[in-house]
Structure 1
Amino acid sequence: MKKSLFLLALTIAAVVHAQQRQSSVGTVTTTAQTPVHDPVMIKEGNTFYLFCTGFGISVFSSTDLQNWKREKPVFATAPEWAVAAVPGYRGHTWAPDISYHNGMYYLYYSVSAFGKNTSCIGVAVNKTLDPASPDFKWEDKGKLLHSVPGRDNWNAIDPNLVLDEKKEAWLSFGSFWGGLKLVKLNNDLISIAEPQQWRTIAARPRAASSDTAAGNGAIEAPFIFQKNGYYYLFASWDYCCQGEKSNYKVVVGRSKTVSGPYTDKTGKPMELNGGSLIIEGDGKKWFGAGHNAAYTFEGKDYIIYHGYDAEDKGRSKLRIDELLWDAEGWPYVKKN
């Protein structure tokens, strides 16, 4: 298992590095051909901005959700604190999360050692996302969370910020190990609130014979979306980053409170392997698909994620679908 996790991480790095070399700043691609991993999105003015895994954090922009232009990465050089905290980290940054609060854009991001939970979540802020604005400047606020092998049974990657009904801030995060976690933040959104409040919000069983602390309970990428009095927790199951062999998929549960418990359609808690399937590959157009985010733009709900293109050797591409809701208030996506 340890070897497979290492190979997975190498695959991610190789794919993203290849995509960076093939696409220069200013290059425009259509949605189905835009090379991304772990996309998140936000709108400023008439422009949508997409952030995803890549060297320095990859950035794209669009005015129509169809044609995406590559922008300069967030970081021209790797943050010094992250290089010191995570051996081997040189700027390839994972799974960002973007949101707007208090007149600022908050960008959470992940740095990690391959196959280990030597990982950190950092935060950067900006007044605007428009690179042509005189106010455009990313300011790194440094480390928010740090997981340590042998000390922590969780992994500090895949952050997602959510504000509850009291406007109090919580950060969900996690990958493998003991599952997905939730921690309360201070109002500054860049520090953990005291006394510290932690929750396990989703987990999967792990084989006792696993030779690594990560285990094989493949769950990651939490994203919490508020709708009709519920908090919906999306999570990704199984394995990404294996091209044609990827079996990534998205499941969902919901709760009346941000701290859970989150349960699926059958009432099974997500912390006990619960989760109702919402997205998976079909093996024809797309192999595995996952690591999603969800947003509302101009009255419509959207789910964005990456899928492994079955018509292009399993390469990872951007996918955007309208998020629909059934009579019981559960989300679904129309099958193409």
Structure 2
Amino acid sequence: MADPDVYKENDDLFFLSGTGDGRTLPIYETNDLSSFRLKRSYDASAADPTYDYCMLWAPDLGKYNGVYYLYFSAQRVPNGMACPATGQDVTTFVASAPDLNLNFGAPQPINPNTTYPRTTIGSACTPQGCNRNIRIDSATFNDTSGRWLFYVWFDRGNNISSFNLAAPGTVYNHTGPALYTLPANEEGINEAPELLKRNGIYYLLFSSGWYNSQYAMNYIMADSLPALTRARAVRQLSQPMRNDAGALIQTHGHNVVVDRRGEFFNIFHQGAFSPPGTFTSRSTYKQRIAFKPDGSMHSLNQVNVRWTRLTGYNYSLDLVLRDGTVIGPCIYAGIIGSANKTVFNGVCPSAGNRMVNKGDIAAFRIFYSNSSTWGPFVEKAYDGVSDDVFLEIPGGTTPFVDLSWSEEETGAQYSIDIQRRDTGAWIGPCIGVNSVNRSLAWTYSGRCDTPGINVAISNITAFRICTAMNGDWAHARCGSTPYDGKSMHVPIVIP
């Protein structure tokens, strides 16, 4: 099953649906998000005496004002006609059910015969614009401001927009190639919107790339639904997994987030590939979500591994698994060389392209050598979740510090200050707004560019990030974090 969606009735009752055979939509019931039983399959053609439906994709299950709703993408034709049909494109319908039997009735078009975003049988864009064509991947979200519908429309690729069902005349555009310039790896595809609100922060999760190619999960954070656009930072939740030859092994996408007893779970489909990198199938998986102090999420399959430097040495990475086995090398010295950072993305290219889930890792090991002989190593226990691991090699020095910080108002700018260990004085800015601008990360290597002075990493006791809007630095807000003079990653939250 692909394109999963989960509706939560309560902490002990959930319903899962997704793309199946293209003619019906399976609906599974579960009490624990672990064991599932088929409740029923929704057959839109059987429910509608007038029309037949095909290409049933990407359902959205939900409830509003006591009524249960099933949104889904499909083509519709008069009874007995060929489906798929020429001259049509896929569009979105909605069916309703009065109770938890989830016996959904005949599909209905959305906002028919209006100028609002709507179900559109034909392939042409509406006169009001392509973003009024509700094509695929609908996602409803109940907010204090009302019930919202997010959806995908087609123009130069796949784009995401939304509207409040109580005020459908206003359309909010969020992301996609018709709206923004996308990086090449997104392949002109932004789809599968999913909404989450946690601790006052809204999240728009979406998938990028073709499902059989660069498919991956991303997200945007903001303080309101309309602000969830690419004017904010786009963060990676997953990345495609490839072997050492560059062929695809696994992809992840079209996710839904559901909470149970205070824990959050990411439910998504995972693409499988044959050894040459040819797509073979998709299945649905589940993973707990862990949040960082600034509200961002730890990634599904990426760990930034950093370690201190010994002059003239090369390095190799091993993994210690929770069952006690060791994969070594996972990334050998021929790949890492003398670098002091590598990214583990779920694949060990130097161990037969073995895939390893983050949750199965108990520790990381860095071996170091200045000859052809390998023996000494350092090991760091791992929690199975975090995106960052630091290993301190005896006698090593810290070559750089990767700084990252929380995202503030849309359009905010940032600067970096440091506090000297020898004098206690702050240097501000050390890296000014003309350099940092709107970035949310910076690598400090011992140089304060703005005053033009060197300050050794070991001589720093704190980093501070300040932010301002429209150049109003007289009213800047700042957040600082103590520094031990050794660590190579420092996250900072601005209050």
Same fold (TM over 0.5): yes
1:277-328 per-residue CA deviation (whole Å, 9 max, x = no partner) reads: 1023324795111011112112111111100135897321111111111111
| Counterpart in the other structure of 1:280 | 239
Please give the residue correspondences for 1:52-71 in structure 2 after superposition, counting only pairs within 5 Å: 52-54=18-20, 55-71=23-39
Deviation larger for 60-69 or 318-327: 60-69
Q: Distance in 2 between matches of 1:315 and 1:53?
A: 12
Does the aligned pair in 1 maintain the 2:55–2:73 contact within 8 Å? no
Assess, with a 3 A threshold, how the Cα gap between structure 1 residues 104 and 120 changes in structure 2: closer, same or farther: same
1:209-247 per-residue CA deviation (whole Å, 9 max, x = no partner) reads: xxxxxxx6111111111111121001110011x3xxx32
| Counterpart in the other structure of 1:146 | 119
Q: Distance in 2 between matches of 1:327 and 1:306?
A: 27
- 1:65 deviates by 2.4
Q: Distance in 2 between matches of 1:115 and 1:331?
A: 43
- 1:111 deviates by 1.4
Q: Distance in 2 between matches of 1:81 and 1:281?
A: 43
SS at match of 2:103: coil
Instruction: Name the one with the larger strand percent.
Output: 2
- 1:76 deviates by 5.8
Does the aligned pair in 2 maintain the 1:53–1:92 contact within 8 Å? no
Does the aligned pair in 2 maintain the 1:206–1:217 contact within 8 Å? no
Q: Distance in 1 between matches of 2:86 and 2:280?
A: 22
SS at match of 1:162: strand
Aligned match of 2:72 in 105, 109, 112? 109
Q: Which has the larger radius of gyration?
A: 2
| 2:198 maps to 1:227 | yes
Assess, with a 3 A threshold, how the Cα gap between structure 1 residues 218 and 317 changes in structure 2: closer, same or farther: same
Which structure has more relative contact order (CA 8 Å, sep 6+)? It is 1
- 1:330 deviates by 0.6
% same residue: 21
| Counterpart in the other structure of 1:22 | none
| 2:152 maps to 1:174 | yes
| Counterpart in the other structure of 1:256 | 223
Quick one: which amino acid aligns to residue 191 of structure 2?
Answer: E
Instruction: Name the one with the larger helix percent.
Output: 1
| 2:327 maps to 1:327 | no
SS at match of 2:32: coil
Number of residue pairs aligned between Structure 1 and Structure 2? 265
Structure 1 length-normalised TM: 0.69
Q: Distance in 2 between matches of 1:185 and 1:290?
A: 26
- 1:127 deviates by 3.2
Q: Distance in 2 between matches of 1:298 and 1:82?
A: 44
Does the aligned pair in 2 maintain the 1:175–1:218 contact within 8 Å? no
Structure 2 length-normalised TM: 0.48
SS at match of 2:36: strand
SS at match of 1:326: coil
Deviation larger for 307-316 or 104-113: 307-316
Q: Distance in 2 between matches of 1:149 and 1:51?
A: 29
Does the aligned pair in 1 maintain the 2:270–2:283 contact within 8 Å? yes
| 2:76 maps to 1:98 | no
Q: Distance in 1 between matches of 2:64 and 2:14?
A: 17
| 2:260 maps to 1:297 | yes
Does the aligned pair in 2 maintain the 1:230–1:255 contact within 8 Å? yes
Quick one: which amino acid aligns to residue 184 of structure 1?
Answer: N
Assess, with a 3 A threshold, how the Cα gap between structure 1 residues 256 and 206 changes in structure 2: closer, same or farther: closer
Assess, with a 3 A threshold, how the Cα gap between structure 1 residues 56 and 129 changes in structure 2: closer, same or farther: farther
| Counterpart in the other structure of 1:197 | 170
1:13-58 per-residue CA deviation (whole Å, 9 max, x = no partner) reads: xxxxxxxxxxxxxxxxxxxxxxx11000123463332111132212
- Structure 1: unaligned runs, 5 residues or longer: 1-35, 84-88, 131-135, 187-192, 209-215
- Structure 2: unaligned runs, 5 residues or longer: 76-83, 111-117, 182-186, 302-356, 358-495
Aligned match of 2:4 in 39, 47, 52? 39
| Counterpart in the other structure of 1:33 | none
Q: Distance in 2 between matches of 1:174 and 1:162?
A: 15
| Counterpart in the other structure of 2:164 | 184
Assess, with a 3 A threshold, how the Cα gap between structure 1 residues 317 and 286 changes in structure 2: closer, same or farther: farther
| Counterpart in the other structure of 2:141 | 162
